[in-house]
Structure 1
């Protein structure tokens, strides 16, 4: 039986695949309801409490819309169309608490946890096998290793279903209009040549809007000073808890110590323990640490719970950094003093980690890379400017 999910971004999302309905009902997928999409962004934008759950369902929908375009689906078999829809649905199932924030303390990236959950001893794996779907084939799309490159591009590329959903979803829920994209127009004018996705030349302005919108989203939302301050404060909290654990400290919250034990020991977390981790459990861990005997852990816990994060300070010179560093010279100060070299966000990359991610447009009978015909993208600055920031607690003495 077909089902629909009512979504604030896309309207009615049609779950046309029975396997998708069953995957959504697994405990691993339901965990995503308890993971906020923007992590620390919720502390800046009151409406930004949307979850990885809604985003993943949205990506399933956007992939389905791409496949409804016969110029795309003509080069993808029916079997692979199902696989890529499922890959879109499951692509973020491996995210940890507070989304990307957790990767600063984890020894394994969320993409690898996603693959582990798909191929491991999980309910998701069981549902896939029940429907005669090879979990390894789904995982190959997550890892961009599927033999049909067009399939990989739908889920992971410079212009994919993932980005088209999260940019519009994050923009709507933060109340910022940088990425009010016309997704239907972009998809309707997509085509495939050989194993590459291409777009009609008349979509140029929409694609420029997409790239510039993403740039401004990173500048104003994803890298907002309060959001990054939360990230650094959580990292310091975790670092202190980890140091205490390795020193033999006995936590009052035994469940916390047992659940985080593998991560404290810099091991890959078991899927059993990883599935226990979400924003709710992590906040509860932090709240209980407000009553621990260690003053540093107590202070960091209170800072997170009461939104008193480490404050960002932009430094203009190395000397200014050295002068400030002297005020945080004590061993205990390392949890309240953090630095970051912030590289300018690159609007567009032709290659990403060796992977060809060019955006191609059809101009007459030729394929043109976007920088050949878009002056605004061509002159966008290279990623060579670095700014030095520190994150400090002014009350530490």
Structure 2
């Protein structure tokens, strides 16, 4: 099979493998059409309505471009390439409604559910096994422990196919121009050294541009205060549902309560329960809850539906915040709070704790890009912010 998908980021994406088409056609993957990539970001940037579906196909495309680089793949067994291609396509299949926003509700990272779906969804496992691909091997790449480290780094590292695609795609969707990067230059010059993906010194400027673009996307798009306000309101809607459920509140419509029961009871969802949920279903449940008699649940639901979230500010003093809270007749449990934003570094192997550095081949041997770059100062520190959530 030789199929072309027209994409607004990469142009034509050529899919040559039957099993990739079959994976895309599975119910679990089609669900990603109904998961918006930026979650609450769509309430800030109206055109940022792109989905995990298009991003996942874009990530697969970028991995394929890397694998076409013979300097990178020299010494690798090409029979293993379908494994990393499958992992790149399926890496985000575990995202829940509103992407990262939902992780705050269930307190479980989407990677855990990606692995669970890959190993337990019959449609996906059947497609993989028919293509002689071990689902466990695909899962190991997503978990970052595949024995071929290059495969791990292609899907998850400080400069990987996932980040490259989402920066390009999110920048375009949000209508900003922070992440226009020299993709072909970076891919063409990637090679391997001691089991790591490395880059020659002449790519440093292009990589710096990539890292700076990512930094600006986090400060201006991903961490926008309206997105934080959406996340907070969604969390509190779920919290109010849980509280009412524990109090044996009699809901007008018990259907959505039955569907959400594992979440309300703090249980892990199985694959069928999890893949049943998407942005559309949760929004429908929120609309149903707006018809309940409970004023708090109704109010939180209407705030989400009508984009009338709680307010977020990093400029309030603690005294001003307390005055707002004490003068309000609303329950502070659902309408007031604080968010401690962690410092975000332009670059640093400690960002996730276990990330490997970006390696540059230098005349004096293999170097961490920090040792060469004129703008990535490893001694620079970023100060996090404290955000106050309130109603005024």
Contact 1:26–1:124 (CA under 8 A) maintained in structure 2: yes
Unaligned runs of 5+ in 1: none
Matches within 5 A, 1:242-257: 242-257=242-257
Corresponding residue for residue 372 of structure 1? 371
Contact 2:4–2:12 (CA under 8 A) maintained in structure 1: yes
Could you give the per-residue CA deviations for residues 334-362 of structure 1, whole angstroms, max 9, x where no partner exists?
Answer: 10112111123111112344424201111
Q: CA deviation at 1:256?
A: 1.1
Corresponding residue for residue 307 of structure 2? 307
Q: Distance in 1 between matches of 2:98 and 2:136?
A: 27
Contact 2:324–2:390 (CA under 8 A) maintained in structure 1: no
Corresponding residue for residue 263 of structure 2? 263
Contact 1:107–1:266 (CA under 8 A) maintained in structure 2: no
Q: CA deviation at 1:282?
A: 0.7
How many residues get paired? 392
Give TM-score scaled by structure 1 length: 0.95
Q: CA deviation at 1:380?
A: 6.9
RMSD: 1.6
Unaligned runs of 5+ in 2: none
Q: What secondary structure, in the 3-state scheme, does the structure 2 residue paired with 1:266 have?
A: coil
Matches within 5 A, 1:190-201: 190-201=190-201
1:341 maps onto 2:340 in alignment: yes
Report the CA distance shift for 1:380/1:168 in structure 2 as closer, same or farther (over 3 A).
farther
Contact 1:171–1:179 (CA under 8 A) maintained in structure 2: yes
Q: Distance in 2 between matches of 1:266 and 1:163?
A: 31
Corresponding residue for residue 54 of structure 2? 54
Contact 2:346–2:376 (CA under 8 A) maintained in structure 1: yes
Q: Distance in 2 between matches of 1:258 and 1:339?
A: 31
Q: CA deviation at 1:392?
A: 1.5
Aligned partner of 1:387 among 371, 385, 388: 385
Give TM-score scaled by structure 2 length: 0.96
Contact 1:287–1:305 (CA under 8 A) maintained in structure 2: yes
Q: What secondary structure, in the 3-state scheme, does the structure 1 residue paired with 2:308 have?
A: coil
Q: What secondary structure, in the 3-state scheme, does the structure 2 residue paired with 1:184 have?
A: helix
Q: Distance in 1 between matches of 2:376 and 2:71?
A: 26
Corresponding residue for residue 128 of structure 2? 128
Q: CA deviation at 1:288?
A: 1.1
Q: What secondary structure, in the 3-state scheme, does the structure 2 residue paired with 1:105 have?
A: helix
Q: Distance in 2 between matches of 1:214 and 1:352?
A: 13
